Amino acid sequence: MTSPLRLGIAGLGTVGAGVIKIVQEHGALLAARSGREITISAVSARSRGKDRGVDLSDYSWEDDPVALAKRDDVDVFVELMGGEDGPAKAASEAAIAAGKHVITANKAMLAHHGQTLALAAEAKGVNLRFEAAVAGGIPVIKTLTEGLAANRITRIMGVMNGTCNYILTRMENAGLPYDEVFEEANQLGFLEADPNLDVGGIDAAHKLVLLSSIAFGTQVDFSGAQLEGIGLISIDDIMAAKDMGYRIKLLGLANMTGSGLEQTMQPCLVPYNSPLGQLEGGTNMVVIEGDAVGQIVLRGAGAGEGPTASAVMGDVMDIARGISLAVFGQPAKTLTPAKAAKSNTPSAYYIRLSLKDATGVMAKVTTALADAGVSIDRMRQKEHQDDAAPVLIVTHEVTPAAIEAALTAIKATGDLASTPIALKIVEV
Amino acid sequence: MTSPLRLGIAGLGTVGAGVIKIVQEHGALLAARSGREITISAVSARSRGKDRGVDLSDYSWEDDPVALAKRDDVDVFVELMGGEDGPAKAASEAAIAAGKHVITANKAMLAHHGQTLALAAEAKGVNLRFEAAVAGGIPVIKTLTEGLAANRITRIMGVMNGTCNYILTRMENAGLPYDEVFEEANQLGFLEADPNLDVGGIDAAHKLVLLSSIAFGTQVDFSGAQLEGIGLISIDDIMAAKDMGYRIKLLGLANMTGSGLEQTMQPCLVPYNSPLGQLEGGTNMVVIEGDAVGQIVLRGAGAGEGPTASAVMGDVMDIARGISLAVFGQPAKTLTPAKAAKSNTPSAYYIRLSLKDATGVMAKVTTALADAGVSIDRMRQKEHQDDAAPVLIVTHEVTPAAIEAALTAIKATGDLASTPIALKIVEV
């Protein structure tokens, strides 16, 4: 057996505590499987005194994560602090510069600085691993980078934000409006300090762009992703979708087209009984499609102490076993700059309009749709509520551009009582 | 870029042809991702003249796979011939002895000789990889061995024989009896030369025992697995299960208990709308439960040219990238001999009896059940058909031993018109 692999852990929240528990409880198992003892040399967090349910007395304490990252007795710096910049980035850079491997669960940092960090790590010959950054306990980074490495990846789809999925399924199951469930989720501590990271689709998009980079050999490009949150989804939308055999999910989609890389994170309708449609609560699902393998579906817990710690420790085990890989599956200097393309893949759409109660309004709407080339598959006007009539439309396959043109024209009529919504229908 | 990685491929059926296509069509992609060119030096198969839809003219031909395995210009021997013993084993052994890595899709060979081959490979310092042997294109070996390496695995479940799943779903969807669908599957070329490998659960059990070895750190133990095929499942069972909200699947289950390793492969009832219940046709699903990660579900094509070739090439890419691992996740010499335990995990059961038409028969049956400690949850007697009355029973949770005792007692009454069946109900 070779020398122990020594960890330095910065960030002792839920995940950090989970990692420490695995190291403490599964010592023999980890050593049997990796051929090395896994130890913890030092830890760091904002507050030293806090009880985290784990015994830290054997580990050195560092107030400064940068100092932790550079310690001589640390082989692997485990970054679990979070945050796009600040200490997480400073300490990760320091660790790489000092020749340490880095393992991180920080999708925000990688979505913005992944390329720079990968170049630095590869120049230094150290590993930068981030299984825990995407879809919690599901080993999706490994599956995509290694298991499916011989495939040209054709499409990635995923429900990767448990909070949004909780809100949407809770609205449906309890028949509650968005605002009420949002408040409930907040009380339960499910939301990030900036809730827009969750409900605005930002967190999920951070994850999607990391998968895209591996799948398509492009530099991580968060700015090129199109985002739409779940804030406009009403209980009426959810129930109308259900009536038609669909469920609304915050769905990420990435594919490479002739005009460039399409990356979207937006609420979509998926078939109610499909694997994606059946997801409840905090469960995540990632669908990967490759030219040889066809469709692979991965499902598991997207967050939480155990699942996320399992992913972090999977990376630790790889390093202990001497597995070394380019950060995004091929050397960062060979990744091509992503050329962001606005999604133009045609699909059916669900449209909800709230029309003012006046003569000739419906004629104007249907004319606007026809003029934009949007063909109606099904349409239903419900009874007037407060002088407005909700109209639900399902279109035949059209491009997002046509939908956008139609909505612009409809808004211009001045006959809408509130903001219209249009959601892609994805048959999976 | 380092020197090319040179393959020698023995067996040019569907999968062999698929592997060659990937190497020929994705050269640049494979090299970009692995840092090495992947080439094919030589191939071998039973018949040289056959048209396989791929151009073999650049490769040397060997009639003898053993000679292929030992060639100086081969770094990795890819065994795609199949068969528990014979040429597949001889050539794999020869390759290992000659210091070549071996990649195989051969579950039968590994289920019977996995431990011996692993010891040989590890003593020689070469890799023996078998992603393609289990669940086709799903990277389940990698997920279990690497991604979930920090978990104590608590249970493995899987539907891993596409042919059985095809037969069962086809019976249901077309309302056809077993014999007819079996014949249909045979005509379609879905069945192995020895159909019992499929419908007897042997092929699926070969796969299960490989997963068990990795999950529980035990030597592969096929002889300790309990097998039951699908031959006794009638269309009545399928429809009765459906009525109650279940679907019948040939389900593998492995878990480690205080008394030893339980490995069963048998038809079970699973909830109709669960991920396992919703599987159609040749799709495979593996469910892995770990103490940290919770439940991970993996779904994908269980067979076919592209998916299986994707798995073989995933192993090739690992070797090209210099990834080296113990065959079953920890050195073979540290794997403990499996102590096979007869499954004694309690569950609800579905029982179908065909009772002779005579007075007092039902009283004898219910008494036998009560005497064995089997408590009835639901029971239905259907109308007599040909002097026999089908009786369908769902029990409360009982042990397999109690079910066995009850069935033995019921058979002893002499009142059964045909063989009874008892299927475990697995809530997943």
- Reduced to 3 states, what is the DSSP secondary structure of residue A163? helix
- Reduced to 3 states, what is the DSSP secondary structure of residue B237? helix
Dist. CA B20–CA A421, nearest whole Å = 48
pLDDT of residue A299: 97
Instruction: Report whether pLDDT(B140) > 70.
Output: yes
Instruction: Report whether pLDDT(A158) > 80.
Output: yes
pLDDT of residue B1: 53
pLDDT of residue B129: 98
- The CATH number given to B140-301 is 3.30.360.10
Dist. CA A82–CA A105, nearest whole Å = 7
Dist. CA B203–CA B136, nearest whole Å = 12
Q: Based on DSSP, count helices (H) and strands (E) in chain B, helices before strands.
A: 14, 16
Dist. CA B143–CA A289, nearest whole Å = 17
Q: Answer for the pair B301, B307: CB distance below 8 angstroms, yes or no.
A: yes
Dist. CA A166–CA A168, nearest whole Å = 6
Mean pLDDT for A51-70 is: 97
**In chain B, which residues have their Cβ closer than 8 Å to the Cβ of A278?**
273, 275, 278
Interface A–B counts its CB contacts (< 8 A) at 189
| Chain B interface mutation, best of A7, A298, A334, highest count of B Cβ atoms under 10 Å | A298
Q: Are A310 and B143 an interchain contact pair (Cβ–Cβ within 8 Å)?
A: no
- The CATH number given to B348-425 is 3.30.70.260
Query: Which of A33, A139, A151 faces B143 most closely, judged by CB atoms?
Result: A139
Nearest CA to B264 among B158, B335, B178?
B158
What is the nearest CA distance from B83 to chain A, expressed in angstroms? Answer: 24
Mean pLDDT for A305-316 is: 98
Residue B382 pLDDT class (50, 70, 90 cuts): confident
Instruction: Report whether pLDDT(A273) > 90.
Output: no
- Other C-beta atoms lying within 10 Å of the C-beta of residue A56: 17
Q: Are B300 and A323 an interchain contact pair (Cβ–Cβ within 8 Å)?
A: no
Q: What is the DSSP string of A360-408?
A: THHHHHHHHHHHTTPPEEEEEEPPPBTTEEEEEEEE-SB-HHHHHHHHH
**CA dihedral angle for residue B306, residue B308, residue B312, residue B313, rounded to 10 degrees:** 20
Dist. CA A306–CA B148, nearest whole Å = 11
Domain boundaries in chain B?
5-133, 140-301, 348-425
Nearest CA to A30 among B151, B337, B212?
B151
Dist. CA A230–CA A178, nearest whole Å = 9
- Reduced to 3 states, what is the DSSP secondary structure of residue B273? coil
Nearest CA in chain B to A328: B33
Tokens 């639901």 correspond to B378
CATH architecture of A146-302: 2-Layer Sandwich (3.30)
Instruction: Report whether pLDDT(A409) > 90.
Output: yes
Q: Are B150 and A331 an interchain contact pair (Cβ–Cβ within 8 Å)?
A: no
- Reduced to 3 states, what is the DSSP secondary structure of residue A63? coil
Q: How much of chain A exceeds pLDDT 70, in percent?
A: 100
Mean pLDDT for A358-386 is: 90
Mean pLDDT, rounded, of chain A:
95
HSE at residue A396, side-chain half, CA atoms within 13 A, is 8
At residue B35's C-alpha, the angle toward residues B34 and B41, to 5°, is: 80
Label each residue of B47-68 as H, E or C.
CCCCCCCCCCCCCEEECCHHHH
Which residues of A have a catalytic role annotated?
A: 207
Name every residue whose Cβ is closer than 8 Å to that of residue B209 and which is 6 or more positions away in sequence. B111, B220, B221, B222, B225, B254, B263
**In chain A, which residues have their Cβ closer than 8 Å to the Cβ of B35?**
326, 331
Alpha carbon of residue A89 to chain centroid: 20
Residue A343 pLDDT class (50, 70, 90 cuts): confident
Nearest CA to B313 among B15, B69, B4?
B15
Q: Are B296 and A138 an interchain contact pair (Cβ–Cβ within 8 Å)?
A: yes
Mean pLDDT for B416-422 is: 92
At residue B312's C-alpha, the angle toward residues B308 and B317, to 5°, is: 140
Dist. CA A240–CA A237, nearest whole Å = 5
What is the nearest CA distance from B184 to chain A, expressed in angstroms? Answer: 25
Q: How does pLDDT run across B283-323, given as a tens digit for each residue?
A: 999 999 999 999 999 999 999 999 999 999 999 999 999 99
Q: Are A297 and B293 an interchain contact pair (Cβ–Cβ within 8 Å)?
A: no
- Tell me the two tokens of residue B333: 């010499």
Instruction: Report whether pLDDT(A38) > 80.
Output: yes
Dist. CA A280–CA A266, nearest whole Å = 18
Query: Which of B18, B293, B306 faces A306 most closely, judged by CB atoms?
Result: B293
Residue B378 host element (H or E) = strand B376-381
Q: What is the DSSP string of A125-144?
A: T--EE-GGGSSTTS-HHHII
Q: Answer for the pair B205, B222: CB distance below 8 angstroms, yes or no.
A: yes
Calculate the alpha carbon distances from B44 to A44, B13, B87 in Å. Answer: 58, 11, 11
Q: What is the DSSP string of B111-146?
A: HHHHHHHHHHHHHHT--EE-GGGSSTTS-HHHIIII
Q: Are A299 and B147 an interchain contact pair (Cβ–Cβ within 8 Å)?
A: no
At residue B218's C-alpha, the angle toward residues B212 and B221, to 5°, is: 70
| Chain A interface mutation, best of B151, B218, B274, B293, highest count of A Cβ atoms under 10 Å | B293
If 0-12 CB within 10 Å is exposed, 13-18 middle and 19+ buried, where does residue B102 land? buried
Mean pLDDT for B397-415 is: 95
Query: Which of A30, A300, A322 faces B293 most closely, judged by CB atoms?
Result: A300
What is the nearest CA distance from B344 to chain A, expressed in angstroms? Answer: 26
- Residue A201, Ramachandran bin (φ over 0: left; ψ between -120 and 50: alpha; else beta): left
pLDDT of residue B345: 87
Which residues of B have a catalytic role annotated?
A: 207
Query: Which of B29, B292, B299 faces A152 most closely, judged by CB atoms?
Result: B29
pLDDT of residue B381: 86
At residue B199's C-alpha, the angle toward residues B194 and B202, to 5°, is: 75
Q: Answer for the pair A197, A203: CB distance below 8 angstroms, yes or no.
A: yes
Order of strands across the sheet that contains A38-44: A60-62, A38-44, A5-10, A76-79, A101-104, A128-129
Dist. CA B245–CA B173, nearest whole Å = 15
Mean pLDDT for A356-362 is: 88
Q: How does pLDDT run across A71-117, given as a tens digit for each residue?
A: 999 999 999 999 999 999 999 999 999 999 999 999 999 999 999 99
Q: Answer for the pair A27, B147: CB distance below 8 angstroms, yes or no.
A: no
Nearest CA in chain B to A279: B275
Name every residue whose Cβ is closer than 8 Å to that of residue A411 and which is 6 or more positions away in sequence. A420
Query: Which of A147, A300, A322 faces B297 most closely, judged by CB atoms?
Result: A300
Dist. CA A108–CA B215, nearest whole Å = 33
Name residue A271's beta-bridge partners: A246
Dist. CA A316–CA A322, nearest whole Å = 10
Q: How much of chain B exceeds pLDDT 90, in percent?
A: 90
**Would you say the pTM of this structure is higher than 0.90?**
yes
Q: Are B30 and A150 an interchain contact pair (Cβ–Cβ within 8 Å)?
A: yes
Q: Are A33 and B329 an interchain contact pair (Cβ–Cβ within 8 Å)?
A: yes
Q: Answer for the pair A302, A160: CB distance below 8 angstroms, yes or no.
A: yes
Q: How does pLDDT run across B235-262, given as a tens digit for each residue?
A: 999 999 999 899 999 999 999 999 999 9
Dist. CA B147–CA A158, nearest whole Å = 19
Instruction: Report whether pLDDT(B282) > 70.
Output: yes
Sign of CA dihedral A103, A135, B328, B141: negative
Q: Answer for the pair A163, A304: CB distance below 8 angstroms, yes or no.
A: no
Q: How does pLDDT run across B198-230, given as a tens digit for each residue?
A: 999 999 999 999 999 999 999 999 999 999 999
What is the nearest CA distance from A76 to chain B, expressed in angstroms? Answer: 16
pLDDT of residue A31: 98
- Tell me the two tokens of residue A254: 């990435």
Nearest CA to A317 among A1, A23, A10, A13?
A23
Q: Answer for the pair B289, B295: CB distance below 8 angstroms, yes or no.
A: yes
- Tell me the two tokens of residue B84: 């528990």
Query: Which of B146, B314, B329 faces A148 most closely, judged by CB atoms?
Result: B314
**In chain A, which residues have their Cβ closer than 8 Å to the Cβ of B295?**
300-301
Of A289-303, A356-370, B81-95, the range with the lowest mean pLDDT is A356-370
pLDDT of residue B333: 98
Of A257-271, A375-389, B72-86, the range with the lowest mean pLDDT is A375-389
- Other C-beta atoms lying within 10 Å of the C-beta of residue B333: 11
Of A413-422, B150-159, B315-324, the range with the lowest mean pLDDT is A413-422
CATH 3.40.50.300 corresponds to the domain A5-133: no
At residue B138's C-alpha, the angle toward residues B133 and B139, to 5°, is: 80
Q: How does pLDDT run across B352-376, given as a tens digit for each residue?
A: 999 998 889 999 999 999 999 999 9
If 0-12 CB within 10 Å is exposed, 13-18 middle and 19+ buried, where does residue A413 land? middle
Alpha carbon of residue B313 to chain centroid: 20
- Tell me the two tokens of residue A54: 């784990």
Instruction: Report whether pLDDT(B109) > 60.
Output: yes
pLDDT of residue A1: 53
Calculate the alpha carbon distances from A398 to A93, A367, A395, B220 in Å. Answer: 46, 16, 7, 54
- Reduced to 3 states, what is the DSSP secondary structure of residue B166? helix
H-helix segments, B137-282 = 140-142, 162-174, 178-187, 196-199, 202-216, 235-243
| Chain A interface mutation, best of B103, B146, B154, highest count of A Cβ atoms under 10 Å | B146
Residue B191 pLDDT class (50, 70, 90 cuts): confident
Name residue A294's beta-bridge partners: A290
What is the nearest CA distance from A137 to chain B, expressed in angstroms? Answer: 6
